[in-house]
Amino acid sequence: MTTAGLSEAGQRLVEKILEGQPAALSRAMTEVENETGHAAALLAAVQKATGRAVTIGITGPPGAGKSTLVNALIGEYRQAGKTVGVIAVDPSSPLSGGAILGDRIRMAEHSHDPGVFVRSFASRGHLGGLSRTAGRVIDLMDAAGWDIILIETVGAGQSEVEVADIAAIKLVVSAPGLGDDIQAIKAGILEIADILVVNKCDQPLAEQTKRSLKAMLKLKQSGSQDIPVLGTVATTSEGLAELVSEIALQDEKQRRGDNLVDRKPRIRRNLAEAVGQLAKDRLRQNQSADIDALIVALESGETDYLAAAEAVLDGGQTNREIAATRLEKKTGS
């Protein structure tokens, strides 16, 4: 079988990915992360094999214990005989573009285990708590046959909720004493949670944090009262068994279709990304006089970016009219 747009080496790589060879997965991740010329074809070739993994997003403020919780979850799932892939996103410096990727330091106890694959990504200026290509990288990992995929966001503030589109099950992790009344997770991030986790539950203020979270859920619209609030101590795995069974419950619910959550939001997000990228690429390569005219108009202040972008995307009113005329001719009306 041949796949369009892939070299022989690319096709061999796809075969190896689907066989579950970690080195092949890693190489393909690099292509996708950097959006090379091979990325789209590689993703297309593995698309059919996606949709099997349980994807779990872990988000929350810096210092809540996300990486340590990921480490503890890896332990639980490995004991249950599942293979675990981890995607850990750390922030890039807005000044230099560089990054220190250190999430995996907390996962060191699994670093020998062939049943665990940890890959770090720099956010590269992308906002929302993830890297721009995280959604597609998850597809690769899914196709490579990893049972559980844990996605750890950068330490998130109040609006880094992108993981909601990407992971089937969203854990929002908080910890006692991170500011008055869990202010770091008051809006936005709280709303995407399937499960709220209060980590470091051995600390004195933990019960208060749990109570505040529960009180906050009661103020929300109906339905959110059902969101469980669980306490964990990730360093000792206390509460991890309960968390894992709650995740399983949520996963089962979603697969039964009780919850409306499905893969479609993630697919929609990926589609939006793909459209945006294609538009950018085409515009950069486009040397037409129309674009030049728009640039001149922007420079002189005759038009604004939103209007110019609309003109580019819609091709202006005239193009739309032409399209409408063509359609009429086709349908013979």
Report the distance separating Cα 171 and Cα 197, nearest Å.
7
- Bridge-partner residues for 238, per DSSP? 233
Joined together, the tokens standing for residue 67 give 């990486």
For other proteins, give the closer residue by CB, 126 or 210: 126
- In the region spanning residues 32 to 51, those forming contacts with other proteins, defined by CB under 8 A, are 34, 36, 38
Smallest gap from Cβ 262 to other proteins, in A, equals 30
Report the distance separating Cα 90 and Cα 104, nearest Å.
10
3 binding other proteins? (CB under 8 A): no
319 binding other proteins? (CB under 8 A): no
94 binding other proteins? (CB under 8 A): no
228 binding other proteins? (CB under 8 A): no
Say if CB 10 and CB 38 are below 8 A apart. Answer: yes
Joined together, the tokens standing for residue 76 give 């639980």
Say if CB 167 and CB 193 are below 8 A apart. Answer: no
Q: Among 16, 20, 26, 188, which residue interacts with other proteins (rule: CB under 8 A)?
A: 26
Say if CB 200 and CB 61 are below 8 A apart. Answer: no
144 binding other proteins? (CB under 8 A): no
For other proteins, give the closer residue by CB, 102 or 316: 102
For other proteins, give the closer residue by CB, 96 or 300: 96
For other proteins, give the closer residue by CB, 105 or 248: 105
| Residues in the chain, overall count | 333
146 binding other proteins? (CB under 8 A): no
- In the region spanning residues 103 to 132, those forming contacts with other proteins, defined by CB under 8 A, are 104-105, 108, 111-112, 117-120, 122, 124
Joined together, the tokens standing for residue 291 give 């674009």
Q: Would you list the DSSP string of 41-52?
A: HHHHHHGGG-S-
Say if CB 188 and CB 159 are below 8 A apart. Answer: yes
53 binding other proteins? (CB under 8 A): no
For other proteins, give the closer residue by CB, 101 or 312: 101
Q: Among 23, 248, 271, 296, which residue interacts with other proteins (rule: CB under 8 A)?
A: 23
Say if CB 175 and CB 201 are below 8 A apart. Answer: no
27 binding other proteins? (CB under 8 A): yes
Size of the site for other proteins (CB under 8 A): 36
101 binding other proteins? (CB under 8 A): yes
Provide Rg for the chain, Cα atoms. Answer: 23
Smallest gap from Cβ 138 to other proteins, in A, equals 15
For other proteins, give the closer residue by CB, 142 or 194: 142
The residues, ordered by sequence, that sit 6+ positions from 158 with a Cβ below 8 Å of its Cβ are 184, 185, 186, 187, 188, 189
Say if CB 192 and CB 151 are below 8 A apart. Answer: no
Q: Is the dihedral of CA 112, 9, 55, 199 positive or negative?
A: positive
Residues that bind other proteins (CB under 8 A): 6-7, 9-10, 13, 22-23, 26-27, 29-31, 34, 36, 38, 92-93, 95-102, 104-105, 108, 111-112, 117-120, 122, 124
